[in-house]
Amino acid sequence: MPRPLLSLLSCLAVITGLFAAEKSAPPPIKIEPLDSPSEASATAPTLARAPDGSVWLAWIESAPGGATVRSASLNPTTLRWMAAQRIATGPQILDVDTAPPALAVGQGGRVTVAWTETSAAAPATESILLSSSTDAGLTWTAPSPLTTESKTNSLPVLTTVADGRVLAAWLDRRGRTTGDHDVRLYARIVGEPAGPDVLIEARVSEKSPPALVSFPDGSALLSYRTLGEGLIRDINVVRYRAGRWENNHNLNRDDWRSPHCPASGPQLAASGGRVAAAWFTAAEDRPRLRISSSPDAGSRFLMPLNVDFGHPLGRPAVAMLHDGAILTLWVEGESSQAKGPPAGLWLRRATPDYSLDPPVLVMAESAARLRGQPRLAIVRDFAGGNSDVVAVATYATSGPGGGLRSCLVTIPEGALLAAAAECGCAPPTDQMLGHPIRGVIVSVDPTRGEVVAQHPDIPGLRLGGTHTYRAAPELIARVQPGRDFLARIEQAGDAWTLFDLRLLVIPPEKKK
């Protein structure tokens, strides 16, 4: 057999997971149950990752006479949930699977939670309340309205932007007239200084919650399900940048026309300036669970991949790894085939080169017992070499033994990348760290271990201009001011590091 064909077959074996017989085969993805911090009545979970690596969980517990919003954090060292904390209790708190609380976690133990309540007076209306903590959940502020400009709003999402403030988006029914069924999408900054309510879209799908992620450069990306002419229910994205909302566009033209709105909204995840999106569509009467990624903070997305078996019920969750791989969690229904895959909760990894690994069954369960929206968050990201990734998945179930369930998902990321690199399909694992940059060396300071570089905008990551980077002594020793370069940058806390630098040949016309 010709050598190129052997190489191709080797790569295909890695991508499709048919590497069990190889000596260098990486271990499989591992699923381990995790004790839940909640009571049996818990539902509607939400996860968010803090800058220190801890993962926070918020949920709602129902009881006679009212419901309670609670939270807990997962210790990234012990991989165990801390004790649950009460945020708010009241008879008007909406305790349904389709109205999960929103959660944002920032630096220094700052946590913000938003949830939906119903009015006591008829006709019943819904409105969003907000509470925050500055001491990692030990104490919480008294609940207050998310916005004072409207009393008919629901399905909030939150994210902490780079300056520490919280950005919120939600569905709003303000301004509706008799016979008007339109639901609007609004957003606002709720930190100090707070901003006004901003209308993002005047007509959106009425039951699909939006999704929101933030980037290191201070911008954010909002995604939502449209309600266009002809009842088109596709997915749009719009970017928050420098205090303005801009570049509202379609993520992918599925052209799904439906008189009924699904409760399954889009999901977003970000790593640096890269974004992953997951969503459900039934365009052309073909249910599909799709994912896509963007290299530039959502300005453009790749052609989507279908991750399901053909019977998805939607409700995706998505996470993006530091190396660009994507993890997707979704609910698959019963197969029409006698020996088809079981219904339940499934996980699938898309490689950094945007191909699909085999799916992994997280829990075999009937769709009737799986409630609401599953959640997924990264606990330990890929750190180079042979390191693993650890994620946490959380979902709600009904019936005997119901409530919230959590599991740890361990992905042998380093081994998977090394196996791909063996066949020439991918770069070495350590080259998957950081983010690419092209610029010009402005100055070098060996005593401070710093390089000053000038470069254009890196969408979502760094604004264009002149920036200072830390660098290793061996890198500093071989760079000169005025040289063009390619490199990678990485953020650790408030500092940025420059590494893997390659000097570019200066064109003759630039030497003049």
Give the CATH number, domain containing residue 441.
2.40.50.140
Q: Compare 182 and 497 and report the one with higher pLDDT.
A: 497
Let me know if residue 422 belongs to a domain.
Answer: no
251 and 331 part of one domain: yes
Q: Is residue 272 part of a domain?
A: yes
The C-alpha angle 30, 97, 376, rounded to 5 degrees, equals 25
As a whole number, mean pLDDT of residues 410-415 equals: 94
Q: Are residues 383 and 458 in the same domain?
A: no
Q: Confidence band (pLDDT; 50, 70, 90) for 9? A: very low
The CATH number of whichever domain residue 45 belongs to comes to: 2.120.10.80
Choose the most confident range, by mean pLDDT, from 20-29, 163-172, 333-342, 425-434. 163-172
Q: Is 214 helix (H, G, I), strand (E, B) or coil?
A: strand
Q: Which domain holds residue 70?
A: 29-411
Provide the Cα torsion 183, 189, 193, 196; round to 10°: -20
Q: What would the pLDDT profile of 308-333 be if each residue is shown by its tens digit?
A: 999 999 899 999 999 999 999 999 99
- Determine, yes or no, domain membership for 417: no
Within this chain, do residues 404 and 475 fall inside the same structural domain, yes or no?
Answer: no
Give the closest residue to 276 by CA, choosing from 299, 256, 298, 255.
298
- pLDDT, residue 4, reads 37
Same domain flag for 447 and 486: yes
Q: What is the pLDDT of residue 163?
A: 92
Same domain assignment for residues 444 and 407: no
**pLDDT at residue 402 tops 90:** no
Both 390 and 257 in one domain: the answer is yes
In terms of domains, do 288 and 164 share one?
yes
Q: Look at residue 506 in the predicted model and tell me its pLDDT.
A: 67
Assigned domain for 99 exists: yes
Percent of the chain residues topping a pLDDT of 70: 90
Which of 396, 411, 426 is where one domain is finished? 411
Does residue 425 belong to any structural domain of this protein?
no
Of 416, 417, 438, 421, nearest in space to 485 by CA: 438
207, 299, 428, 453, 482 from 438: Cα distances, Å = 43, 19, 20, 9, 13
Three-class secondary structure of residue 476 per DSSP:
helix
Query: Which residue type is seen at 244?
Result: R
Output the pLDDT for position 459. 94
Does one domain contain both 354 and 478?
Answer: no
Asked if residue 388 and residue 271 are part of one domain, the reply reads yes
In a domain, 85, yes or no: yes
Mark whether 486 and 387 lie in a shared domain.
no
Asked if the model's pLDDT at residue 427 lies above 90, the reply is no
pLDDT at 191 over 60: yes
Residue 374 lies in a domain: yes
What helix, strand, coil percent values describe the chain, rounded to 5? 10, 45, 45
Highest mean pLDDT among 11-15, 171-175, 508-512: 171-175
Q: Do 373 and 467 have their domain in common?
A: no
The confidence score (pLDDT) of residue 512 equals 53
Amino acid 12: pLDDT: 35
State how many domains the chain has.
2
Q: Does 473 lie in the same domain as 324?
A: no
Q: Looking at residue 3, what is its pLDDT?
A: 39
Residue 426 lies in a domain: no
Q: Where residue 13 falls among pLDDT bands split at 50, 70, 90? A: very low
Token pair of 210 as six digits: 């939006």
Instruction: Say what the pLDDT of residue 25 is.
Output: 64
Across 251-259, average pLDDT = 95
pLDDT at 147 over 60: yes
Chain mean pLDDT for the chain = 89
